[in-house]
Structure 1
């Protein structure tokens, strides 16, 4: 192993040790399920904001999105625009009301338990259905984070001969470290580590593309640098409405990319941060911090892909494009030991993006299994036994995610896209209608949830058109159709069904007057 790799490895090791120490310290204050899964509903504004956004912006922010922009140009930035709009709407429309409603509705600790309490579902059907959906789609989502970590290690420490071996070793290391601090400290450990990781991600994602751009344009124009790197027409590459080959970005592509913003309304690992904020005043502070963080990080992520196209010595194909940020750092910080160490710190930013999402996904899945499935089946379950089941679930989901991610050719963007569509379609319409429509019913919520989840599965996985999936045949993102159908079915079934009871309607009306 080269001296440069040893220095970077030392940076990684120090970073991981710090995360594990935070998990150990956080475990001392964890006494029950509310502490483990919601941190006692005591998050401050900064921690809630950075934790929510760091858990949202996984490895795809520093690997998947820059890779897409690197290959196709700025026509891919419509995803970032959609995500920004979704973030703003989620913080301003959903956060405060969800926080209040989950407390009033039986002090709900999870999204599935909120659905059950909101609709007074004595049989627990909606809680069980939503918990199963969480377990399915979060396993895929967690696999994307593990794959990101493995690709980071393989790109840094591997070569063409041992890439697959190093990928597997990196995957094992990433899984173990994330498991340790999530298992020990629960929600507090996840939020505190996410806070640190959010800051680190922000520094890395801002500094690296700016340094590269300044170096690239010092004695040359940026357009000429793109031409020198093989871009035929820089004007097309830098045009929001053009593809790299000169063709127009299709309306279907723009709609599909903007639709990513709809996913926010159904993301359990983000919504649960809203539930855990200390007070209304802290939510107001959090939303401002979160929106600024997202604007900067998404803009910088897109800039990474654009600048890397002109800066990198080698041209990357579709398979390697998701490693552009890693290679950019390696090429910039390679002169001496100090520069390599600084580069190692920035590479920890990628590790931070990966870990901050995987830990949140594991924890939400564990809470679904513990609170919603285990307690739903075993009514006599104690707090201690439920907590232990939740911790076992963390390990099981991590193992399954490991198996899914074991293939070195796994697409980070593809895995994230599938999971995002699944949650956005299944939960997004239900969350919005549960919070803002008094007439919404249990039957409507369950029907809409099932419709959204099944639409994504059918659209993305079943080869129904000449041996290919409907997504491949149309290029329309499944979230567009899944969200729309789920919303329509929910409304129609709710209108057909019997009106909610007076108790449910009174509880809905009471949210307006609550101050927390």
Structure 2
């Protein structure tokens, strides 16, 4: 396959721009607090777009359009569930988590917050939550590496193994160098690129087919089932797809954006910006897959790429329908989605290893400079493990994401939700909820009712465990209740 020069130039310029931002952020990174949370300095626009970009990953431009292309509009239940879950997360958790982490020893990480919030002197909560982060995020990082490899493989004709390294290298570099500020600033650029691509592409696809009416007629003629929201779905399947929304309450890379906002007052405007961005992006992704059915039905001679792998639908449409310079920008949006999420995940894994394990157990008096450099080393280690996990070319992006998303949603979601809303919650409740949520996800696929997405029983069992174990034991100390009340008072202040 010949490599388009404009496309190659566009990619190189984009990647160099992201790395440059990383080196600019290097100059603003003075302490480990800066490296992990950017000194809690994010404004509403950066908070919103960074949360959105870190959330969506390569799944937005590959997994979701691919699912719609192969199965029809019925796969959009996932998008509906995500929009509901994200709004509830912004509305209920975001502001409260921002003030609660500040009142509980200025916690920099979720394990740090759990340990302080629930007065866990044994450090068991810190260790278990750090282990959960490392297990599920390493899988999640692997999904990002797979998506990047697919992009480089399709765009430049690389073999899969070379594409793995090409796709991951730039992300590793700017995360390694610039930390949280680099990740957040690049996320803002990347989110803007993603929304541009997802609004423009379906419009051009519809025009290429002959207009909206002609596009719908072609899709209807191919199969009426493509227009059926309940195609092949029973009640359990719909609930499973909607259940993806539960995952938001427990995603450390998204929750970190709330923790890094400059104040809880920023959250309200960030919520509006973030939800508008999300609705437009998800709508665009669904439209790419849906109207892509019509395009390739009319042009079967161009459908070889999508016949081989439906997740390449956006890539193929961009290559076929656009000038190479524009196609390069659009395909950079996939790289943006991959890089934005992968960088956040690498940073959260690094923080778990550095703040919660290295500093917590090995070097309690480590200097800020030492912690920053250990954090950078941990980014590299996790990245290399993720690349190794992604080495199988048969990996599918959506499958890897769904497993990791469920793991975090069930293990952390109820603990975070109850932790910021219920003052009576205790350390034993948090521990029981976390362990039962994680174990349910790990065991459900093999031993449970396989048709039900594992996040739903995991979230339900974890929530029950939190309530039962919190009420069975002695309640929180007076000091813990006072800290919680002070944080709530600040949250409700104007």
TM-score (norm 1): 0.92
Aligned pair partner of 1:308 in 282, 287, 292: 292
Aligned pair partner of 1:458 in 429, 443, 459: 443
State the distance in 2 between where 1:319 and 1:512 align: 53
Q: CA 1:188 to 1:141, structure 2 compared with 1: closer, same or farther past 3 Å?
A: same
- Contact 1:155–1:326 (CA under 8 A) maintained in structure 2: yes
- Contact 1:263–1:425 (CA under 8 A) maintained in structure 2: yes
Counterpart in 1 of 2:74? Answer: 75
Aligned pair partner of 1:477 in 446, 449, 453: 453
2:39 counterpart SS class: helix
2:412 counterpart SS class: helix
| Deviation of 1:227 (Å) | 5.8
Counterpart in 1 of 2:369? Answer: 384
- Contact 2:152–2:167 (CA under 8 A) maintained in structure 1: no
Name segments (4+ residues, structure 1) moved above 4 Å.
315-319
| Deviation of 1:317 (Å) | 6.5
Q: CA 1:371 to 1:47, structure 2 compared with 1: closer, same or farther past 3 Å?
A: same
Q: In the alignment, is residue 361 of structure 1 matched against residue 361 of structure 2?
A: no
State the distance in 2 between where 1:318 and 1:218 align: 24
Alignment of 1:294-373 (within 5 A): 294-312=278-296, 313-314=299-300, 315=303, 320-333=309-322, 339-373=323-357
List gaps (5 residues or longer) in structure 1. 159-164, 244-248, 334-338, 465-469
State the distance in 2 between where 1:8 and 1:27 align: 29
- Contact 1:96–1:283 (CA under 8 A) maintained in structure 2: yes
| Deviation of 1:381 (Å) | 2.5
State the distance in 2 between where 1:126 and 1:285 align: 33
Counterpart in 2 of 1:246? Answer: none
Counterpart in 1 of 2:430? Answer: 445
Alignment of 1:13-32 (within 5 A): 13-32=12-31
State the distance in 2 between where 1:344 and 1:391 align: 31
| Deviation of 1:318 (Å) | 7.4
Decide which moves more: 279-288 or 310-319.
310-319
State the distance in 2 between where 1:90 and 1:370 align: 27
| Deviation of 1:217 (Å) | 2.5
List gaps (5 residues or longer) in structure 2. none
**Count of equivalent residues:** 486
Aligned pair partner of 1:216 in 203, 209, 212: 209
Q: In the alignment, is residue 423 of structure 1 matched against residue 411 of structure 2?
A: no
Q: In the alignment, is residue 291 of structure 1 matched against residue 290 of structure 2?
A: no
| Deviation of 1:241 (Å) | 1.8
Counterpart in 2 of 1:98? Answer: 97
| Deviation of 1:18 (Å) | 0.4
State the distance in 2 between where 1:135 and 1:218 align: 47
- Contact 1:268–1:364 (CA under 8 A) maintained in structure 2: yes
Cα RMSD, aligned residues only: 1.6
Aligned pair partner of 2:399 in 406, 409, 414: 414
State the distance in 2 between where 1:174 and 1:219 align: 35
| Deviation of 1:506 (Å) | 1.1
State the distance in 2 between where 1:173 and 1:221 align: 40
State the distance in 1 between where 2:365 and 2:40 align: 25
Alignment of 1:129-168 (within 5 A): 129-158=128-157, 166-168=159-161
Decide which moves more: 137-146 or 215-224.
215-224
- Contact 2:206–2:291 (CA under 8 A) maintained in structure 1: yes
